[in-house]
Amino acid sequence: MAFIKRTLAQLFSYVESIFEYAFGQHNNPFVSLGALGWYFYWIVAATGVYLYIFFDTGITDAYASVEYMTHEQWYAAGLMRSLHRYASDALVIVVVLHIFREFALDRLRGKRFFAWLTGVPLLGFIYVCGISGYWLVWDKLAQYIALATTEWLDALPVFGEPIANNFLNSTTLGGRFFTLMVFIHIFGPLFMLLLMWVHIQRHSGARVNPPKPLAIGTLAILVILSFAWPAVSQGPADLDVVPTELGIDWFYLAAYPLLDVIPGGRLWLILLGSVVVLALLPWLPPQKPVPAAVVSLENCNGCARCVDDCPFGALTMVPRSDGRAYDFEPAVNVDNCTSCGICAGSCPTSTPFRRARPIQPGIELPDRTISALREELMRGGTSPERIPRVLVFSCDTNAADHLREHGAQVINLPCVGMLPPSFVDFALSRGYADGVMITGCPEGDCQHRLGNSWTSERMAAERDPYLRGRVDKRRLSLVWLPAQALRRRVRALEAFRASLAELNDE
């Protein structure tokens, strides 16, 4: 399993580097797959509402109304139909890529299982909504899908009489069929939206909108595609004639040709087995337990910064329990805490300057304490003579251990968001380094969701706790790169060191 994940991660890294070169790190579509999924959903929903205005549900009226929209009103409803089709296909693409990418980056195990587990039925809803939409057109492709689907459903021992009998000939099909399909195609997406909301409930500040340039560019591509290759029907359905040549939408209908070679019951077992394996992936193998964050009320004034910064909603403010003159205190939900340490980085008492008593912040990780972090910083590292000393803070996911070979002192953290800004001040003002480099996951793609974003804002004095103005920002470098970008990280170190040498010579 680890080999598969490593291989997929390397593949994604290679492809993403190409897209990053073309679009920039912020607008890289691969780091916004989840947000693009929401975006395509809303395009499908909006265009679907418009199309429903002109849709008729009669057996012959359905096809005629779709043909009217496609050819007579090609500039509006026809465009909407094509957008509806292509956005639906794009939704499948980004969701499948999102699943593979989250698996490759190991963002599904341990306490992060919830989003994965709720995402599995979401995939099923996408296919139910998409396939039912093809039925509504009631062309030859819809006829094929209806016959194949009902025969496949008849393989399950749950129906008293074969439901495929409803499609034996034109006289057996009633208007209630379209009423049922419309119901499924309208209420299916509504249930899907509810599940999408549940899907992100453990994510604080979940990003459901892609960057504006990416959204505008994506919509423009869909519109161009819709005008260049508009979605069209494949001739009216006729249950008295078996269709022989059809164009298949492989994004939604890839399983249907398998019914010609695999019995329906066996295909159901394959599908069920695949769903079970997919749902069990967070525990194959299970993640080793890690200690959750702990609160020290002695050093907590209830400022709620840790609650605001927690990426997984693991912290809430509750009434004070120690009798001190503060109204609230943070409470840790150990079932949600991923031990990223971002809460420790947000605590104003996480400062290395304290000397009167041992460092004990209001909240921290019991196995990665702020006190131990200061001791590791003060131990220092080895550096070649006559070159600027660089202290590197990196996250465990994108560990920069290879920079030690280039004379840097490297300290790894669960997430760079765990680093209190005061540690940068401490390292520079006390002479432990000539410069501090913070390196972590690519922009907008933090392994712990918000660590690099919060770090950037703290260092820019845009978020509490912030880096004090007395720190020379020229001696601080923020580098957000993928884990596999080893050479780029080395080049960033050398460029930073060269700039420090110029500062030292001033």
User: Which of the residue ranges 239-243, 281-285, 310-314, 379-383 would you say has the lowest mean pLDDT?
Assistant: 379-383
Q: How confident is the model at residue 381 (pLDDT cuts 50, 70, 90)?
A: low
pTM (predicted TM-score): 0.92
Whole-number Å distance between alpha carbons of 107 and 116 = 9
User: Each residue of 190-247: pLDDT tens digit?
Assistant: 999 999 999 999 998 888 999 999 999 999 999 999 999 999 999 998 888 888 888 8
More confident residue, 506 or 107: 107
**DSSP state string for 43-84:** HHHHHHHHHHHH---STTHHHHHHHIIIIITIIIIIHHHHHH
- Banded pLDDT at 179 (limits 50, 70, 90): confident
Is residue 454 within 8 Å of residue 447, measured between CB atoms?
no
**89: its two tokens:** 């296909």
- Check: CB of residue 432 under 8 Å from CB of residue 378: yes
Mean pLDDT of 81-95: 96
Q: CATH number for 2-283: choose from 1.20.1440.230, 1.20.810.10, 3.20.20.30, 1.10.3720.10.
A: 1.20.810.10
Q: How far apart are CA 1 and CA 27, in angstroms?
A: 31
Average pLDDT (19-35) is: 92
Instruction: Give the H or E element holding residue 318.
Output: strand 315-319
Residue 260, pLDDT score: 87
Is the pLDDT at 317 greater than 70? The verdict is yes
Asked if residue 282 lies in contact with residue 109, where contact means CB atoms within 8 angstroms, the answer is yes
Residues of the chain with CATH 1.20.810.10: 2-283
Tokens for 387, please give them.
């070159």
pLDDT score of 320: 94
**Token match 């869909």: residue?**
222
Give the SS3 label for residue 22. helix
**Whether the predicted pLDDT of 328 surpasses 90:** yes
Name the least confident of 90-99, 183-192, 327-336: 183-192
At residue 181, the pLDDT reads: 81
What pLDDT was estimated at residue 262?
Answer: 92
pLDDT at 177 over 80: no
Structure confidence at residue 470 (pLDDT): 94
User: Mean per-residue pLDDT for 78-106?
Assistant: 96
Predicted confidence at residue 178, as pLDDT, reads: 73
User: What mean pLDDT is predicted for residues 423-447?
Assistant: 94
Confidence of residue 358 (pLDDT cuts 50, 70, 90): confident
Task: Look at residue 359 in the predicted model and tell me its pLDDT.
Answer: 86
Give mean pLDDT, residues 139-145. Answer: 91
User: Could you tell me if 134 and 249 are in contact, meaning their C-beta atoms sit under 8 angstroms apart?
Assistant: yes
Band the pLDDT of 385: cuts 50, 70, 90.
low
- Tell me the pLDDT of the chain averaged across its residues: 91
Q: Token digits for 130?
A: 């998409």
pLDDT at 382: 55
CA distances for 222 relative to 74, 95, 216, angstroms: 15, 17, 10
The pLDDT of residue 231 is 95
Of 40 and 383, the structure prediction assigns the larger pLDDT to 40
